Chains A and B, each alone.
Chain A
Amino acid sequence: MLQAHSLLWHYLWAGPNLLLLALGLLAIRRGIYREFPFFVGFSVIASIGQLVVYAADASPRVTPGTFWRLFLGTILIEGLIKFFLIAEIFGNVFGSYAAIAELGRGIIRVTAVVLLLSAVAGAAFARRDNSNWLISGSHLIQQTVFIVETGLLLFIFLFGWHFSVQWKPRSFGIAAGLAISSCVHLATWAVMANGGMFDKRYLLDFLNMATYHLCVLIWCYYLLVPHKKSTPPSVSLPENNLAIWNRELERLLR
């Protein structure tokens, strides 16, 4: 069951990508692309890219060299779109809060530069896991992309938590799915890129694919299932003895 090219393996590779492609097309039909153009773009492009790589892997006519070139091209395009998607999530969550949006933009830019430099340094010092540069390079690029991606998403969650910002359900679902996927992928690609678990890599593939499937389901839930708007609770103000509050209220009501 847990073997490469088993039925489960085929399902876990093709299934989530077909689902993601359907989600992207449904999102276009429902007009969700206006709110999340990069997420919709990501769902369509990443799923098609992965399906092409899957077809290349399954087809006996495709040479290993062609497969790895396709794989490298796909992860580069996917990685680029994901950074735009993270910027979209940030804008959607914090853009309407003038008081913190500028500060957040400044910090996230610095964070991105620091993460990128650290990730490049990590790739430079990593032990090559394969004599073929295309394979080891692809693994290191995956590791680099997921270091930056995980760091930026962690920053967004921490920044939102520090300021007690309430997420919109769709932004939250997209960010949560992407964050779970990037954390697990970071761990697995780090092991692969540094030459770990050489004989049991298919297990890491299964973990990656199963996690991705879960994340696609999270995205489907948050994007397609209507979320009821919470009714505002009546707020009763507690007793307090700050005279300044009264003074300020009078000033505001004048």
Chain B
Amino acid sequence: MNLAIFLVVSAAVALGIILHLAVKQSLQVRKSSSLAGIRPIDVEAFRNLANPAEDEYLRLRLPPAQFRVVRRERLRAMAAYIQVAGANAAVLVRIGEAALASGDAGIAEAAQQLVNDALLLRRNATVALLRIYIALAWPNSGFAAVRVAERYEQISGVAMLLGRLQNPAVPVRL
């Protein structure tokens, strides 16, 4: 009977999650997308944090215990940057999806590219976060998240292009 109780509770939790996500999905379709949810991030600062050469420099200069403390701090900062980049990518996916319905071929093409690039960034951000959490447990392991930074720069450019195609009259400042 323990198994039955476990399965009933699991089924109830699964149903709750699915209904919650289904309602969110329905609301998301009705809600207009906006870039207001995007938080700007300093890619250069992130690049410095993710630079393996800086890690190597710190490793040579600092005693091992102090290096581990500093390394963990840097990893936490990196994770914070990546979380914001991932959240921005999610907003861009929604904006791109909304723009895909546009009749304009140029906008639809830019939107498709934005969606693909943003999804790739989100995927990379997820993998990078996993690796950061593993690296937090073993600070001496090598880790570089340079690809995330590169991908972020790329989708930022595509998002700008999409914005300008949709609102040519609006001066865009990003």
Chain A residues within 8 Å of chain B by Cβ, number: 63
Give the docked Cα–Cα distance between A164 and B15 (Å): 20
Q: A158 contacts which chain B residues (CB < 8 A)?
A: 17, 21
Q: A244 contacts which chain B residues (CB < 8 A)?
A: 43-44, 153, 156
Query: A193, B99: Cβ atoms under 8 Å?
Result: no
Query: B22, A249: Cβ atoms under 8 Å?
Result: no
Query: A251, B28: Cβ atoms under 8 Å?
Result: no
Query: In the complex, how many angstroms separate the beta carbon of B11 from the nearest chain A beta carbon?
Result: 4
Among B49-57, B61-69, B114-122, B138-146, the one that faces the other chain is B114-122
A25-62 CB contact bits vs B (8 Å, 1 = yes)?
00000000000000000000000000000000000000
A6 part of interface (Cβ distance < 8 Å)? no
B130 part of interface (Cβ distance < 8 Å)? no
Chain B residues within 8 Å of chain A by Cβ, number: 67
B3 part of interface (Cβ distance < 8 Å)? yes
Give the docked Cα–Cα distance between A146 and B34 (Å): 39
Give the docked Cα–Cα distance between A236 and B20 (Å): 29
**A191 touching B4 in the complex, CB below 8 Å, given contacts A153-B18, A161-B24, A229-B101:** yes
Q: A126 contacts which chain B residues (CB < 8 A)?
A: 3
Q: B167 contacts which chain A residues (CB < 8 A)?
A: 234-237
Query: B153, A248: Cβ atoms under 8 Å?
Result: yes
For the residues of B in contact with A, the DSSP-based class is helix
Give the docked Cα–Cα distance between A48 and B40 (Å): 57
B134 part of interface (Cβ distance < 8 Å)? no
**A252 touching B161 in the complex, CB below 8 Å, given contacts A230-B98, A245-B156:** yes
User: Nearest B residue to A176 by beta-carbon distance?
Assistant: B22
Give the docked Cα–Cα distance between A35 and B150 (Å): 37
Query: A240, B3: Cβ atoms under 8 Å?
Result: no
Query: A163, B157: Cβ atoms under 8 Å?
Result: no
Query: B29, A230: Cβ atoms under 8 Å?
Result: yes
A157, A196, A239, A253: which contacts B161 (Cβ < 8 A)?
A253
Query: B35, A236: Cβ atoms under 8 Å?
Result: yes
Leading 4 A-B pairs by shortest Cβ distance = A248-B157, A190-B7, A194-B4, A183-B15
Q: Which residues of B contact A (CB under 8 A)?
A: 1, 3-4, 7-8, 10-12, 14-15, 17-19, 21-22, 24-25, 28-30, 32-36, 38, 40-44, 90-91, 93-95, 97-102, 115-117, 119-120, 122-123, 126, 153-154, 156-164, 166-167, 170, 172-174
